[in-house]
């Protein structure tokens, strides 16, 4: 082996040794987890559950920092610009990670370029609900009614680019419907369907109580498999729209360039946290289901969803801001 090859091998072994050593000693100080939403919401609660578990496992504080605003972009920009050393992570949802890429012309971050995926933490369905007074009892009934009355049915959402909005737009596209979007704030959207002011809404799992009380009719769930909280409800695919899937997920990411060994260490510990019975029980109380896929799987799903929602948003006529 000549001197040049010996030198290259020495550098490679040094890098491997340094990364292995980093993984064994990480973390040596406080780790900050940026959440681009306000405190006390379901995402924040889930983030604090994960951060507490990581702190206990890795013997250093994992502190949640809420940085809401601008559709999640303030917190995501902060996290994207943080040092890629494993001491700043972020827990965010499909909106800031995926949908904003299509909704805004100028972004302060690029998800694919600026972040390294660690794992999808949780899956969260949306539930298609209609007013109790609407004369439909299934997705097929709703589609038939919408086609019989083009432009006369409307749907609520908590603003452009939210999972309820995207779910309705995907349904419109796949079923060939002419229904009108009426944006609301989140609480007002729920009230609008309860009062019959709108014809339908893709609601959070909080819709369970209203549906069981007969205040609304729940027709289907948006995820690819049935929701554990309402197993009697079919998925949208089962109810007549094969291939339909909207998952209002939340995932854990790090700034791009974070050492792979650190990402693997965090990923491995998160898997243990998500597998705990008490974690599953707490997540279930929020309407969430633990996922915990690999960094590679999470990255592939982000790529696929960016392409998917770019197409849906473009076809919906929503203009990038």
**208 domain residue, yes or no:** yes
Residues 272 and 213 placed together within one structural domain of the fold = no
Domain boundary among 221, 238, 272: 221
* Long-range pairs of 220-226 with CB within 8 A, sequence gap ≥ 24: 220/127, 220/128, 220/139, 221/125, 221/126, 221/127, 221/128, 222/125, 222/126, 222/127, 222/128, 222/163, 222/167, 222/246, 222/247, 222/248, 223/123, 223/125, 223/247
Residues 171 and 36 placed together within one structural domain of the fold = no
If we measure between CA atoms, which residue out of 228, 236, 244 comes closest to residue 138?
236
**215 domain residue, yes or no:** yes
Domain boundary among 183, 201, 221: 221
Residues 140 and 281 placed together within one structural domain of the fold = no
User: What per-residue confidence (pLDDT) applies to 23?
Assistant: 63
Reported as a pLDDT band with limits 50, 70 and 90, residue 15 is very low
Following CA atoms 109, 111, 112, 116 in sequence, which dihedral angle do they give, to the nearest 10 degrees? 110
**228 domain residue, yes or no:** no
pTM: 0.88
List pLDDT tens digits, range 140-152: 999 999 999 999 9
Is residue 274 a contact partner of residue 58, using CB atoms and an 8 Å limit?
Answer: no
Domain interval for residue 133 = 127-221
**1 domain residue, yes or no:** no
Indicate whether 274 pLDDT > 90.
Answer: yes
Residues 36 and 112 placed together within one structural domain of the fold = yes
Residues 260 and 214 placed together within one structural domain of the fold = no
Mean pLDDT, the chain, integer: 91
**173 domain residue, yes or no:** yes
Which CATH number fits the domain that encloses residue 180?
A: 3.40.190.10
The set of residues, in sequence order, having a beta carbon less than 8 Å from that of 141 and lying 6+ positions away, is: 135
Which CATH number fits the domain that encloses residue 263?
A: 3.40.190.150
**11 domain residue, yes or no:** no
**257 domain residue, yes or no:** yes
Indicate whether 79 pLDDT > 80.
Answer: yes
User: What per-residue confidence (pLDDT) applies to 103?
Assistant: 87
Residues 111 and 179 placed together within one structural domain of the fold = no
**167 domain residue, yes or no:** yes
Give how many domains the chain has, as a whole number: 2
């Amino acid at each position: 082996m000549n001197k040049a090859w010996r030198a290259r091998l020495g550098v490679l072994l040094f890098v491997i040794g340094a990364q292995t050593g980093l993984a064994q000693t990480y973390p040596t100080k406080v780790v900050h987890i940026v959440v681009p939403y306000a405190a006390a919401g379901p995402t924040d609660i889930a983030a604090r559950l994960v951060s507490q578990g990581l702190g206990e496992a890795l013997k250093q504080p994992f502190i949640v920092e809420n940085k809401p605003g601008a559709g999640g972009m303030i917190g995501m920009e902060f996290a994207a610009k943080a040092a890629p050393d494993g001491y700043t992570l972020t827990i965010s949802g499909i909106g800031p990670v995926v949908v904003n890429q299509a909704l805004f012309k100028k972004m302060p971050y690029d998800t694919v370029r600026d972040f390294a995926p660690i794992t999808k933490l949780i899956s969260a369905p949306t539930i298609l609900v209609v007013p109790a007074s609407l004369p439909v009892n299934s997705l097929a009934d709703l589609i038939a009614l919408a086609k019989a009355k083009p432009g006369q049915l409307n749907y609520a959402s908590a603003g452009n680019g939210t999972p309820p909005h995207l779910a309705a737009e995907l349904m419109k596209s796949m079923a060939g419907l002419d229904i009108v979007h009426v944006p609301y704030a989140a609480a007002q959207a729920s009230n609008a369907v309860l009062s019959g002011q709108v014809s339908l809404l893709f609601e959070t799992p909080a819709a369970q109580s209203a549906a069981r009380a007969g205040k609304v009719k729940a027709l289907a769930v948006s995820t690819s498999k049935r929701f554990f909280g309402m197993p009697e409800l079919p998925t949208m695919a089962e109810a007549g729209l094969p291939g339909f899937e909207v998952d209002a997920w939340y995932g854990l990411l790090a700034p791009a360039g974070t050492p792979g060994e650190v990402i693997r260490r965090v990923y491995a510990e998160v898997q243990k946290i998500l597998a705990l019975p008490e974690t599953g029980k707490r997540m279930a109380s929020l309407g969430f289901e633990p996922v915990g896929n690999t960094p590679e799987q999470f990255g592939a799903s982000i790529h696929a969803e960016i392409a998917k929602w770019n197409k849906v948003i473009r076809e919906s006529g929503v203009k990038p801001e």
